[in-house]
Structure 1
Amino acid sequence: MLVRLQSAIGRDDLVEQMVLIPEPKRSSLTNSQTSNAINLIVGYNASPNSHTALDIAFWIAHQTRLATNQQVVVQAVYVVEQNQSEKSLDKVNWADYLTSCECGVSNMYQSATSVLTQPKIKGISQSLQAQTVTHLEQADKILWQARSLAEEWQGSFKSHLRFGNVATELAKVVKLEAADVLLLGCKSINHKMIQALGFNFPCAILGIPNGIDE
């Protein structure tokens, strides 16, 4: 995938710069190897670097679809950190309110709404403190930005809203979705997020290369 991306943008150093944690050795065929779909997970928080990582993921997905006709699903994960959320979050049955959005972008606005719609927020606001509702509204806006970028690329997209430790929740989604690659807005293996995820990660971890916007 990175070789195709290198060819598309005229770079020859992406593998060296972007592969922060290499793909683990596999002793047998995994779900990702036997499945028709390729899953690219992106840690997204609307920061410039995470936005670049998401853009690169859609770029990779586009190039892969052109070359192989394989389905590629880009999935954005936004984690509300534990110290940002209220204790009252634990008292809510989030399964009743939060759903993942998975659809082709061409049908996105017809068949799917925002992960957290205004009616849902109104429905739970009476049981949550005002600060908690603010966190949910902020999360809704952040994931909407990710879906807007997905619309530009005309690709398949899925979003996740999680609560807790960022590294822990990213790892959970990677395992749940049998991800092929995790993309982060990091430029070095020394980044604290890479250190938190550890070096025995179940899939390759890619960062963003220097000078990608030049």
Structure 2
Amino acid sequence: MLARLQSAIGRDDLIEQMVLLPEPKELFSQTSQTPSSVNLIVAYDASPNSHTALDIGFWIAHQTRLATNIEVTVQAVYVLEDNENNQYPNILNFPIQHPPLECQIGEVSKSATLLLTQPKLQTVITPLQEADKILWQARSLAEEWQGSFKSHLRFGSISTEIKKVVESEAADILFVGCKSANHPMIKALGSNFPCAVLGIPSCIEE
């Protein structure tokens, strides 16, 4: 996939720039056969870098579908995290306090409506509405690429919730809006992450 991207934009250093965590060795040994489908996960929060990561994910998915008969699905994951425990202050800025849980994006509007009748929990409304808007942006970009797309809204630790989605969806690649393996987000994911993690290339600013 990265080889096609390199060829398309005339670069030969994207793999070195973009692979922040390599694919686990045991998994790599099991993927010698051509897969029938591919799942690409993108950590998305509407920031410029995460938008770039999502765009790269869609581009790779599109090129893969053109070159093969493989079904490729791109999935955006947005995590609302409590600021008090937020290790990544430049990624999320919404105050929210409750135990980690998952929520289907289709239930967001319903949840927000119910909260209107519960004054003590009204502080949750704005983050949920903002999350719905952010994932709507991701879905709008997916429509431009005309590809398969899913979105996930999660609550809790960013690294923990992203790993849960990667595992539950059997993801092949996770895209993040980071440019360095030294980023706190990458370190939080850990060296035993279940799939390869790709960042955005520094050459994109050239």
Same fold (TM over 0.5): yes
| Structure 1 unaligned residues grouped into runs of 5+ | 101-113
1:86 aligns with 2:97: yes
Aligned to 2:22: 22
Aligned to 1:189: 181
Whether the 8 Å CA contact 1:115–1:140 is kept in 2: the answer is no
* Cα offsets for 1:42-96 (capped at 9, x unmatched): 0000000000000000000011001112110000000000232133x77xxx77x
Which whole-Å CA distance do the structure 2 matches of 1:158 and 1:203 have between them? 18
Percentage identity across paired residues of the two chains: 64
* Cα offsets for 1:103-146 (capped at 9, x unmatched): xxxxxxxxxxx6633x5421343236221011100100010110
Aligned to 2:112: 121
Which whole-Å CA distance do the structure 2 matches of 1:9 and 1:57 have between them? 15
Aligned to 1:151: 143
User: For the aligned residues, what is the CA RMSD?
Assistant: 2.2
Q: Which amino acid in 2 is paired with 1:6? A: Q
| Structure 2 unaligned residues grouped into runs of 5+ | 84-94
* Cα offsets for 1:2-51 (capped at 9, x unmatched): 00111122211110100011111126647xx7852200000000000000
- Where does structure 1 differ by over 3 angstroms across 4 or more consecutive aligned residues? 27-30
Aligned to 1:54: 54
Q: Which amino acid in 1 is paired with 2:113? A: K
Aligned to 2:90: none
Q: What is the total number of aligned residue pairs between the two structures?
A: 193
Aligned to 1:99: 104
What's the offset of the Cα at 1:213?
5.0
Aligned to 2:9: 9
Which whole-Å CA distance do the structure 1 matches of 2:148 and 2:184 have between them? 30
Scaled by the length of structure 2, the TM-score of the pair is 0.85
Q: Which amino acid in 2 is paired with 1:143? A: L
